[in-house]
Chains A and B, each alone.
Chain A
Amino acid sequence: MKNPSEFIASVNSQWKSTLESLLSTGKRSGADFIEIFIENIDNINILAEQDLITSVTPSFGKGAGIRVFLDKKDGFVSTNDLSEKGLSEALEEALGMLGLEPCKSNCLYFDGLHQIRDYGIEKENWLYQCPDLLESTEKILLGTNNIKNYGKHITVRRGSYSRTFQEVLIASSDGTYARDIRLHQSIGLNVLASDRTNRSSIGRRYGSSDQPDDLSKWDPEKSAQDICESSNKMLYADYVEAGQKPVILSNKFGGVIFHEACGHLLETTQIERGTSPFSEKLNKQIANKSVTAVDEGISKGAFGSMSIDDEGMEPQRTVLIEKGVLKRFISDRAGEMRTGHKRTGSGRRQNHTFAAASRMRNTYIMAGKYTPKELIDSVDNGIYCKSMGGGSVGPTGQFNFSVEEGYIIKEGKLTEPVKGATLIGEAKEILPRISMCANDMDLAAGFCGSISGNIYVTVGQPHIKVDSITIGGR
């Protein structure tokens, strides 16, 4: 399963003329712009339960997505058929969607593709350098085994590892011709603790990009210890009392709230829809002065980093909010065309079946001047959200997040654990209430599902204080 595919070897020798012919046909037929995205994937997922490997699932795939623009409209066709005939039919269908008749002649109608920008050339051995099945399975089993040493009342121990290897080739009628290889690995542990009357379930996941040897850096003992500590505390937690209170959100994955509640509203897809409350707020104060937030695709090894986005553009470091003032939106090609906001190297998609859209990469609130203790000290009666669960944002900007591990803060001290808490609010109302940012900014890997599928992202922040937020409970 580790042989580089014949697909890689054929990129330069076979693809260029095929792609130029397709792009030329598209331009000749009257399209303003044509983009072809081709991918080849080689993935593996492994699941360990208790002390056994219970599932090893490799998956492979190939496909292409062809997108044609005419004015501000676009037609997108995806196919698993990478033959010249299959690609031609897909192009014809995309042209037909926009009312264009395919015009076939042999002359080129554009200047041809540029010299390939091959970001993958140094990465072709990555698949060889990743841990093999034996090494991967042994490492996960170390994790599930370690849980036994630290957990009380643990009835379910699970570990999982996922490796995705994606090779992409992007060609478009402006001459863009680029190839890249992306490698993402993630490993995580989940536990369920239960006694006769109580249950708690906790999960933690670690992920990286473009680091073939990264699995060896994962510490199964520390991960097991960490997850068991949380699980033991939460097993006997009481339900939180609902109400309006100050909260301290932890660093790392605490940043999921900013990602969901604010980040999505800064994507040009939301501006296009008219669903962002921030669309007319450029250079205006939308958050507390303590908040500076960034979205970038360049942090080495971070889950949301990449050499090029799915439209062939190198990613940038985009300052979204500076000292509370909205500075920039996250934009892709279609977003720039439809809203005028310049591309930021943020055109992303899960795979060839999705058209690229403006999506976040590594998104985080920058560190502030306080220590985490100073934040907690400042709260008389509130909640410390040590670990966040998932959440969502509605079409009117209202968000809802579950707190996986929470503690009551009384007079500046952490006290008993609480469960069942949900944080509810709206970004435009909550951003001005982030009054303190600590000095411990850190990142956490995650997955983001939206219009162009599930993609790898990083969220992050230091510990932050929100002066008041609605806490749902019982």
Chain B
Amino acid sequence: MTNDFNNGLNSEKLRSILRSLAAEKKVKQWDLGASCSKDHFVQVDKGEAKQLKASQRSSITIRVWNNDGLVGTTSTSDLSKGGIEKAFVGAFQASQFGNPNDIPDFSPLAKSELPKLSKKLYSFKGIKKLLELLRTAEYELLNKHHAIQNIPYNGLAESEFQRIYLNSEGASRNIKSTHANLYLYARAEENNNKPRSSGAIRIANGIDELDINGCIEEAAKRTIDHLNYRPIDTGKYLVCFTPEAFIELIGAFSNMFNARAVIDGVSLSTKESLGTKISVEELSIYDDSIHPSNVNACSFDGEGTPTKKLCLINKGILENFVHSESTAKQFGVSPTGHAGMGSKVSVGIDWLVISGDTVNPSKSKFNHKEYKDKFILIEGLNALHAGVKGSQGSFSLPFNGWIVDQGQRISIEAATVAGDIREVLNNIIHIEKEQQVTHQGISPHVWVDRLSITGEE
């Protein structure tokens, strides 16, 4: 039952075990992705520790190619020698069912130079320190306004993470990182009105970098601002998405940039969509995995391919898809550093960057701070997993937001915004110049005309 890798993963030891198993089973080609992490997490309730958690996790995913060239994959969290052997045998057996029409190979870039990430590694503060910080944060937030009754969803966490990629041709990738995150979601109620809830999240490389005060201020402001609310009539409205909300919306439809989804026929795009206009000219979108603000940045993907900044939409034109080795081969391009690992390799975006308007930045009257006529400011979208039909393009999502009229904001009681992402992209009437960093990416405020909103009567 001994786990040989409790104090971190050792690439050479893993390679040695895999080499020996491959020789024994007469397997010539294999690769491996491994990760291990340690986490601390605290949650409080009115000054008392509610939940204190720590975890040590490790897992590996092994791919083997059998003599017919077919691939099998197995993962395990048992990193004892016996556990790794069981996974290796499992992968070999699974390879009998490998897909002959789509055989992944090693990434041609698995040994290429990696981008340099300027990330600092932080030491653990420990549970006691986390608890002290979160108690203080909760206390300060509770005292921001008499209507804030409790902070039902709160948590402060720190983690260390190590990730490895190895293959039988000698590729070796290894990265370590540290993260910290804080979330505070308050519940407020006054004057016999319905309870309201809102909050904020902060992510950083370590506790020392975490903007705790900023999180408290934002959570308080968002919660208090929503205390006074009114219903909204069902209808079509001029809408301004905050950076956070617009990134959430684009992220929910990221299959339009995903080569795997294109090949599988479940994307809104087809191979022929590349080079065509899919949005207004003012819109450019990048996926920038290695952006300095991306706390979760990793210099390589699940196949060892270096990550990089990639233009997805350039001035309204669909320019690139994100790829794994397998999808890139089918499109005749290079992998882009967006792969997971598996017998069927998944592909996904990392960190969206939406450009500010560089065409007419100062000419537009649409500025969320100055616009005088009535519009709806959507601050955050909810229930994305339920309200988005990714393969159809439609969405119907509850949101937190305001009716803004003559510069005055009043919170909306409860409402849903619905539409089609392709229409949204083509009905953008303005993209503000100033970009904001969110925990999911970077975007300016984006204005869209005539979106359907349903109010609760």
Contact = CB atoms under 8 A, between A and B. Distances in A.
Given A58-B74, A61-B77, A470-B456, A77 B59 contact: no
A80 B416 contact: no
Given A49-B264, A57-B343, A473-B452, A80 B56 contact: yes
Contacts of B197: 394-396
Interface string B180-200: 000001010000001111000
Which among A62, A155, A391, A471 has the highest number of chain B CB atoms within 10 Å? Answer: A62
A59 interface: yes
B207 interface: no
Nearest to A190: B266
Contact of B418 (A1, A200, A355, A420): A420
Interface in B59-78: 59, 72-78
B453 to A, nearest CB: 9
B73 A57 contact: yes
Given A274-B149, A392-B386, A97 B52 contact: yes
B194 A395 contact: no
Contact of B53 (A53, A76, A471): A76
Interface stretch (A81-89, A220-228, A372-380): A81-89
A328 B129 CA distance: 38
A242 B265 contact: no
Contact of A82 (B1, B343, B398): B1
A420 B394 contact: yes
Interface in B401-457: 414, 416, 418-419, 452, 454-457
A395 B185 contact: yes
Interface stretch (A67-75, A171-179, A279-287, A290-298): A67-75
A83 B1 contact: yes
Contact of B396 (A46, A54, A422): A422
A323 interface: no
A353 interface: yes
B418 A422 contact: yes
A390 B386 contact: yes
B265 A156 contact: yes
Contacts of A398: 398, 414
Interface in A26-43: none
A63 B77 contact: yes
Contacts of B152: 273-275, 395
A419 interface: yes
A405 to B, nearest CB: 12
Interface in A128-176: 133, 137, 155-156
Interface residues of A, number: 76
Contact of B398 (A72, A77, A400): A400
B112 interface: no
Contact of A77 (B54, B195, B342, B396): B54
Contact of A97 (B54, B77, B387, B414): B54
A98 interface: yes
B35 to A, nearest CB: 12
Interface string B16-59: 00000000000000000000000000000100111111111111
B57 A472 contact: no
A321 interface: no
Q: Please classify the interface of chain A as helix (H, G, I), strand (E, B), loop, or mixed, using the class held by over half of its residues.
A: strand
B452 to A, nearest CB: 4
A188 to B, nearest CB: 15
B191 to A, nearest CB: 15
B8 interface: no
Given A93-B54, A474-B419, A57 B74 contact: yes
A16 interface: no
B76 A275 contact: no
B23 to A, nearest CB: 22
A270 to B, nearest CB: 9
A127 interface: no
Given A156-B266, A242-B454, A274-B150, A137 B97 contact: yes
A458 interface: no
Contacts of B97: 46, 53, 56, 133, 137
Contacts of A94: 54
Interface stretch (B79-87, B300-308, B312-320): B79-87
Interface of A: 1, 46-47, 49, 52-63, 72-83, 86, 90, 93-94, 96-98, 133, 137, 155-156, 192, 199-201, 239, 242-244, 272-275, 353, 355, 389-392, 394-398, 400-402, 419-422, 424-425, 470-474
Given A76-B54, A395-B153, A425-B456, 9 more contacts: A53-B97, A98-B49, A192-B265, A200-B392, A275-B152, A392-B386, A396-B187, A472-B416, A473-B454
